[in-house]
Structure 1
Amino acid sequence: MRTDTTSVLVVGGGLTGLSTALFLAWRDVPVIVVERHPGSSPHPRAVGFTPRTMELMRAVGLSGSLPEYKGDGKGVRRIRVESLAGQWFEEQPWSAPGKATPLFDYTPTRNGGLAQDRFEPLLRDKARELGADVRMSTRMLGFEQDDDGVTATMRDDEGVEYQVRASYLVAADGHRSPVREALGIERVGKGFLGESRSVLFRAPLEEYLERGYVQFMIDQGDFGGAVMSYGDGRWAFFHRNEVDSDEDTLRAMIFRALGRSDVDVEIITEGRWQLTAGVAERFADGRVFLAGDAAHTLPPSRGGFGANTGIEDAHNLAWKLAAVLTGASAPSLLATYDAERRPVAKLRHDQIFLRTQGAATDVETIDDAAMEYGHLYRSSAVLGAGPELPPARRPDQWLGQPGTRAPHVWLAPEVSTLDLFQRGWVLVTDDPAWDGLVDGVDCRVIGNETGKADEVRAAFGLNPGGASLVRPDGYIAWRAVDAPADRRAALGSALAEVSAAPALATS
């Protein structure tokens, strides 16, 4: 049996698995992805991706291929209706009543306006372009790990079996995750919520999109469901009819949801899946990491967190794997993946159901901007994120708090502070005295000549002469609000600690 070797093996070629491969390949990490299906699901599933996801795609050069949501700037909007052609009632915000996000320029991007089955091929092609080895129609039969790596057995579409030897394995193999099951990792949360069915169809219904809504919650008393636009002429009707239906019955249900039967409806396919909610008790086991639905299942009601959370899992894990594989960081850095991402998944799981309950609970509902841009990481890769701080706030409330995403400020037309990050460690300051003090840190001095120094200092919570150290994933690791007496010593010590530099880890 032949054995192929790589640095990272990714099991699962959906959104999370392909994003993992893309972020790793962009960092020049050898990676193999195996996916048991020959291509993307014929049912689009997720639709519309958050500005945060689009920020990550912007960083790796993919955003130009991703259409933005063509709404009115308010993101994906939904409304309760009798039917599309019938009476329209109130808008149903993602945040609970009274928690609407104030207007603020948090990001250089907008929502991505494409369906999952159109997004996945773009991720796949970009990952391959950057050197990832993506193998479709390939099933992993099993795996074993030891102190030095993971050995997995594969079977391709011709029935040929072979092994892959990797330093690390990332399980992005869905909510049923055979890898998670093999590791004996349990999930906690709401659990099984029911079965959802849908029918994908094509129809000329663009007139109903003119007011900015793309999701329509059907409320006819004894008949309900949801009609959703994929923005490309395709629509889906989600329902809870537990009886298998023939095409005539499905067409009748669609017409009732539309409130009219005078349109041409082409039925494309049906979908059926179980709605579950839960978070794995741990996201790592030795050299194996869980990501996406394998780590957490977050149903789409009141948040749309699922796919976007998985993509940011991939982003968080990729730079840490790259740092460890190149020797820049000790393996202890990888423990921060679970420490940082599992609390985010747990928070989002709880917020989904808190938003559904609304005022029926005393627990605080966190608004959209805080959930999207303002969660707090607490781990050894962050200095100054204590337990007294809340799990999430808006960026205008954090103002550069270590452990949060570095804030967006426009430096020039089409140039954001976020464009300074992602490749390596970056120091943001207004004082050139910080430049060149520590190897491995790209010092970006934003002086008064740019006209942005005051704005950047305010957004990052710095006084003149202070500095903020930003990690390779764009999160703030350490901050000196004022210039310390010994800049070199302060920065060097902070970098060694948050990056898990081997010299520090072994001293």
Structure 2
Amino acid sequence: MKTSVLVVGGGLAGTSAALFLAWRGVDVTLVEKHPGSSPHPRAVGFTARTGELLRAAGIEQDLPESRMSKGFGIRRVRVASLVGERFEETFWSPPAKVSDVEHSPSAGVGVAQDRMEPMLREKARELGADIRMSTRMLEFVQDDDGVTAVVQGDGEPYEIRADYLVAADGHRSPIREALGITRSGRGYMHTSRSVLFRAPLDEYLKDGIGQFVVDGVGFLTTYGDGRWVLMLDDREYDEAELLRQINRAIGRDDLPVEIITTGRWTISASVADRFSQGRVFLAGDAAHTLPPSRGGFGANVGIEDAHNLAWKLAAVLNGESRPSLLDTYDVERRPVALLCHQQIFARNDGHDRDGKKEEGPLYENDAMHFGLLYRSAAVLGAGPELPPAQLPEQWNGQPGTRAPHVWIEPGKSTLDLFQRGWVLVADHPQWEEAAAGLGLRYERVERLDVFGLSEKGASLVRPDGYIAWRSVELPADPAHELKSAFSSTSAGTR
């Protein structure tokens, strides 16, 4: 069979890739070796930036708002037990400065990974993605024109021919290994034994703390839906001992506790030394393993990988852009993963047991979620002198950053203008005429100040909502300037 893009791996990154590709009209097939999601919820609480991406694809309204968006869950305290004495408090992230600036129309998404993935799969299928569970990729080979993979479901192996392959096959990634792509970073740190259980403990969450380092026991946290996970030292436990450890962590043994499942959890941190090779692209844990020490970087960064790659693959496949645009995927996303790695180890939060910190500034959450900078051939005007992240109001519409959010009318944000193609934002008839000459969508926006523009300026926004170029003032020949900027950034060449 033939498909435009073959995605291998049905976790968050792979399923998001299928969703975003199908949403852009790309013929996409996903294969996943497991019949469904892992019984371990793993990630929980997705950022408002992820909420923005799902909002554009028409799925955000189906997902529950995260209590984390109101501060729940991101607070962590050392305790004698859940019901016992509480000691010093630590944080996933640097406490944000008090500000009345609203950065997003979206809130975080409060759902565990094992419930998020089926929602993404359902939406991807609704949009036309061919999702094949219980189907394993056995081997693949690529040539100048595409990738041929051999896969197997319940029957005999068969071939899938694709123009491109997205490897979202996890942190062990057989595809990455087959390509010989090495990794750098902190590497292996430690292994924990985990036990997932259900217990009526919501009364202990009223103060907004959702993570507990229990002295002499381990790390206890909630998924916000009645399920909890306790991380213990890595050794063998029988069910009776697991129950004793759970009761020790809670600090009482008179509550009904249902053990759901157990497992091992390896904590490591690494980033692939390149995110693509030929027609194969790494995404999610295959590209970077980021411990859940701060802000859910692993899951959310993987979803953003998929989003960045999807519009570029769609543009190349439909002939709007040259294949050189795909080179900007590695150039834009790998520095983000490296920055996240640095941020995780910029302080000792308990996962990094050797205590060594990485040098560099510690950025606020909103800077990491909404203010990352891309420097690539798909951006004009993002020089090396700029920091890798800042708050959106500090960027003020800087090319290479996400377009700023401001309400246009009740319920409609500037962000709702983007992600369906290239958009020129301005409020001047000469810019409108220049956009029409190139077949670009023109959006008249009165609040040009948040884009860092004069009343005669313009910003060119990419299909992923990132600013590719801007002209603060009206140049002598707007049509020429816009054509030059668009032809360069849309092709990924300077």
Please confirm whether the aligned pair reaches a TM-score higher than 0.5, indicating the same fold: yes
Distance 1:122 1:360 in 2: 38
Native 8 Å contact 1:79 1:89 kept in 2: no
Matches within 5 A, 1:252-291: 252-291=244-283
Q: Which residue of 2 aligns with 1:449?
A: none
Report how far residue 366 of structure 1 moved: 1.4
Judging changes above 3 Å, is the alpha-carbon distance between structure 1 residues 362 and 272 closer, same or farther for their aligned structure 2 residues? closer
Distance 1:30 1:305 in 2: 29
Q: Using the alignment, how far apart are the partners of 1:470 and 1:355 within structure 2?
A: 35
- Report what 2:490 is aligned to: 499
CA distance in 2, matches of 1:133, 1:269: 31
Q: Which moved more, 1:107-116 or 1:335-344?
A: 107-116
Match of 2:27 among 27, 30, 39: 30
2:374 to 377, 381, 386: 377
Q: Is 1:341 equivalent to 2:333 in the alignment?
A: yes
For 2:339 and 2:276, the matched residues in 1 are separated by 18
Shift of 1:224: 3.6
Match of 2:89 among 72, 91, 97: 91
The match for 2:347 is: 355
Q: CA deviation at 1:64?
A: 1.1
Alpha-carbon displacement from aligned partner over 1:437-458 (angstroms, at most 9, x marks no partner): 2323111112xxxxxx3xx222
- Residues 1:473 and 2:464 aligned together: yes
Matched residue count: 486
TM-score (norm 2): 0.95
Instruction: Tell me, in whole angstroms, the C-alpha distance in 2 between the residues paired with 1:275 and 1:209.
Output: 26
Closer/same/farther in 2, CA of residues 75 and 101 from structure 1, 3 Å limit? farther
SS in 1 for 2:347: helix
Shift in CA distance, 473/459, structure 1 to aligned 2, threshold 3 Å: same
**Are 1:330 and 2:329 counterparts?**
no
Q: Is residue 487 from structure 1 mapped to residue 478 from structure 2 by the alignment?
A: yes
Q: Secondary structure at the match of 2:327?
A: helix
Distance 2:55 2:292 in 1: 24
Instruction: Tell me the CA shift for residue 41 of structure 1.
Output: 0.4
Residues of 1 paired with 2:375 and 2:76: CA distance?
Answer: 37
Instruction: Note the 1:90-129 alignment, pairs <5 A.
Output: 90-96=88-94, 100=97, 102-129=99-126
State the secondary structure of the residue aligned to 1:231: coil
Letter in 2 for 1:91: E
SS class of match (1:214): strand
Give the alignment's Cα RMSD to 1 decimal.
1.7
In structure 1, the residue corresponding to 2:234 is in which secondary structure? coil
TM-superposition CA deviations, 1:94-133 (whole Å, max 9, x none): 2347x65745311111111000000000000000000000
Which shifted more, 86-95 or 381-390?
Answer: 86-95
Given candidates 377, 384, 402, the residue that maps to 1:387 is 384
2:167 matches 1:176: no
Distance 1:421 1:485, change over 3 A: same
Q: Is the 8 A contact 1:470 1:477 kept in 2?
A: yes
Q: Does 1:63 align with 2:60?
A: yes
State the shift of 1:75 in Å.
5.3
Which of the residues 246, 252, 256 maps onto 2:238? 246
Q: Given residue 465 of structure 2, which amino acid in structure 1 is its aligned partner?
A: G
Give the counterpart letter for 2:240 in structure 1. D
In 2: Cα distance, 1:34 partner to 1:442 partner: 35
Instruction: Tell whether 2:159 aligns with 1:167.
Output: no
Take 2:43 and 2:69, find their aligned partners in 1: how far apart are those partners? 20
* Alignment-derived partner of residue 228 in structure 1: 221
How far is 1:196 from its partner?
A: 2.0
User: What amino acid is the match of 1:120?
Assistant: E
The question of whether the paired residues in 2 share the 8 Å contact of 1:155 and 1:162 is answered with: yes
Q: What CA distance in whole angstroms lies between the structure 2 residues aligned with 1:119 and 1:268? A: 19
Shift of 1:213: 2.1
Is the CA contact 1:170–1:291 (under 8 Å) kept in the aligned structure 2? yes
2:401 is equivalent to residue 409 of structure 1: no
Give the corresponding residue for 2:352.
none
Is 282-291 or 65-74 further displaced after alignment? 65-74
The alpha-carbon distance between structure 1 residues 347 and 71, as it changes in their structure 2 partners (threshold 3 A), is: closer
Change (3 A) 1:217 1:78: farther
Structure 1 position 71, deviation (Å): 5.1
Matches of 1:388 and 1:436 in 2, distance apart?
34
Deviation by residue 1:209-265 (Cα, 9 ceiling, x = unmatched): 2122222222x2xx14221111111111112x2221111111111111111111110
Give how far 1:74 is off. Answer: 2.6
Q: Secondary structure of the residue that 1:277 maps to in structure 2? A: strand
Amino acid in structure 2 at the alignment position of 1:27: R
Once residues 185 and 125 of structure 2 are traced to their aligned partners in structure 1, the CA distance between those partners, rounded to angstroms, is 36
Equivalent pair of 1:303/1:352 in contact (CA under 8 Å): no
Is the contact made by 1:154 and 1:164 (CA closer than 8 Å) also made in structure 2?
yes
Cα separation, partners in 2 of 1:84 and 1:432, compared to 1, 3 Å:
farther
Helix, strand or coil at the partner of 1:268: strand
Pairwise CA distance, 1:355: 2.7
Is the CA contact (8 Å cut-off) linking 1:302 and 1:356 kept in structure 2? Answer: no
Q: Does 1:193 align with 2:189?
A: yes
- Letter of the 1:313 partner, please give it: D
TM-score between both structures, scaled by the size of structure 1: 0.93
Letter in 1 for 2:218: G
* Structure 1 pair 72–88 and aligned structure 2 pair: CA distance change class (3 A): farther
Partner of 1:157: 154
Deviation at 1:91, TM superposition (A): 3.3
Name which of structure 1's ranges 170-179 and 368-377 shifts more when overlaid on structure 2: 368-377
2:9, 2:415 → 1: CA distance? 29
1:144 partner amino acid? V
Contact 2:347 2:358 in 1 (8 A): no
Conservation of the 8 A alpha-carbon contact between 2:140 and 2:150:
yes
